[in-house]
């Protein structure tokens, strides 16, 4: 959908909880840099039960929505089309409204992970490890399907989670093996480690960082750095942060919603860093 700088358009991020979201900061910075002075981007507290009603009330001025938990799967029956990327992990984090009123669902987390890694010089790896098995882990696995030529080992806390990750591996055609979380320190020697767990979960692993670590992608961004990321950096390893992911996936959202490309990556990153520093 093409947009002119004079168009008054709206976009927003939805989720629950949502007060912490940096998406308004990133998208507004993009609008400023692109000269889209009549565009606005807000945040709304919306849960699964309220989502259908919220969507029905949106008028023609709406360009798109960013979705966070718990809406990424709940929105799927409510859109007219789901991209192949989003369908691969049953998760939509972006809805774009077309001029004829259709709702297009996409997932920018997966290409966002790939782009964030590429920015740090990681184009391809021969093996990788994932810490965790939640929704972000499935997106990480889908990203690894594009760049990892060998085995992926996922470290999880339960057999149920392990079985789920193996199902995702089969669906995404990834050579995956699962291992017990008790052995998660072994993950740290992999060429690429993607930590997808909640804050504090990997703190105990910091002491096990090897002397010459490779690359850590820690999807957290607040608080930052995590203990694991700080230790990793201290030992000279490359660290990709959750802010890197957030910015890169938001870049793709801005491009889809506004029709402008490329989106202003550095302006968005600077705005995100400034907002985090102020917290």
User: Does residue 2 have an active-site annotation?
Assistant: no
Q: Which of 109, 146, 227, 142 is nearest to 154 (CA)?
A: 142
User: Where does 74-190 have alpha helices with state H?
Assistant: 84-89, 109-119, 135-147, 159-172
Helix H or strand E segment including 12: strand 10-15
Rounded CA gap, 217 and 1, in Å? 33
Q: Look-up: residue for tokens 């996922």?
A: 154
Burial of 92 (0-12, 13-18, 19+ CB in 10 A): buried
Would you state the structure tokens that stand for residue 266, as one six-digit string? Answer: 């550095």
Q: Which of 2, 57, 72, 274 is catalytic?
A: 72
Active site residues: 72
């Amino acid at each position: 959908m093409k947009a002119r700088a004079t168009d008054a358009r709206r976009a927003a991020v939805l989720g629950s909880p949502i007060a912490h979201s940096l998406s308004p900061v990133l998208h507004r910075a993009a609008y400023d840099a692109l000269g889209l002075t009549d565009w606005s981007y807000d945040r709304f507290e919306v849960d699964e039960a309220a989502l259908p009603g919220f969507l029905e009330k949106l008028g023609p001025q709406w360009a798109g929505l960013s979705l966070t938990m718990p809406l990424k799967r709940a929105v799927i029956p409510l859109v007219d089309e789901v991209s192949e990327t989003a369908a691969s992990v049953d998760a939509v984090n972006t809805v774009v409204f077309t001029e004829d009123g259709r709702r297009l669902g996409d997932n920018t987390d997966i290409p966002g992970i790939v782009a964030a890694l590429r920015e740090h010089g990681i184009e391809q790896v021969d093996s990788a490890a994932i810490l965790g098995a939640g929704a972000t882990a499935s997106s990480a696995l889908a990203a690894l399907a594009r760049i990892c030529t060998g085995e992926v080992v996922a470290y999880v806390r339960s057999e149920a989670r392990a079985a789920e990750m193996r199902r995702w591996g089969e669906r995404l055609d990834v050579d995956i093996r699962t291992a017990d979380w008790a052995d998660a320190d072994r993950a740290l020697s992999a060429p690429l480690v993607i930590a997808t767990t909640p804050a504090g979960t990997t703190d105990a692993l910091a002491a096990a960082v090897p002397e010459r670590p490779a690359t850590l992608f820690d999807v957290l961004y607040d608080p930052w750095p995590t203990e694991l990321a700080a230790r990793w950096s201290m030992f000279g390893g490359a660290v990709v942060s959750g802010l890197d992911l957030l910015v890169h996936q938001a870049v793709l959202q801005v491009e889809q919603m506004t029709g402008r490309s490329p989106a202003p990556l550095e302006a968005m990153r600077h705005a995100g860093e400034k907002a985090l520093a102020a917290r």
